[in-house]
Amino acid sequence: MTVPVHTLIALVHDRPGVLHRIVTLLRRRGYNIVSLAVGRSETPGISRLTLAVSVDDATQVVKQLDRLVEVIGVADATDAPTVVRETALLKVRAANAARTHIADETLAAGGRVLDLGPDDVIVEITDAPERVEQFVSAMRRFGIAELMRTGRLAMLRGPTPRVLEAPNDYRAQADGAPTEEAA
């Protein structure tokens, strides 16, 4: 029986050690991290994290993450209307005869050819994780020398849930308004 993959989105304080604490918490509880992507958010000092975790029920994961001081908010986006993307870079072995086929398949999949080397081609694709997986599978017949995938990036459609909004003091800083400390 396969364990489902849940997509979680969290806002966290952008401080040293936060990612370590999150990963350690998940490791201690025995949760398998399928992918993890984190980067700056629209608010300075806050990062947005997309976590794909393999677990039967994500409720406990959400509760455990929400207990961490550095986590501002976390939401399970698995069953919500969401835009999910992943990027992959592939170095594909390419004899001269295969270059055209690789380029054609890459363009047909919505990807781009980034580099033509003497023995290989580097291509990029950004799409839903399932479509990225299909593309990677299609390229395997040519021979993949290297593969790098970003992991899931997810954003909920529609209004931002309150749990994923930055606190007022952070939003004021992002908007350039003076904070209580500066006033």
User: What pLDDT digit, counting tens, does each position of 94-150 carry?
Assistant: 888 888 899 999 999 999 999 998 899 999 999 999 999 999 999 999 999 999 999
Question: Would you say residue 170 has pLDDT above 70?
Answer: no
Question: Would you say residue 28 has pLDDT above 50?
Answer: yes
Residues of the chain with CATH 3.30.70.260: 5-80+158-170
- Which distant-in-sequence residues (6+ apart) come within 8 Å of 46 by Cβ? 11, 12, 13, 14, 72, 166, 170
The class that CATH gives domain 83-149 is alpha beta
160-175: b (≥16 Cβ within 10 Å) or e: eeeebebeeebebbee
Q: What's the CA gap between 50 and 84, in Å, rounded?
A: 10
Instruction: Kindly report the pTM of this predicted structure.
Output: 0.79
Per the CATH hierarchy, to which homologous superfamily does domain 5-80+158-170 belong? ACT domain (3.30.70.260)
Question: Would you say residue 10 has pLDDT above 70?
Answer: yes
Residues of the chain with CATH 3.30.70.1150: 83-149
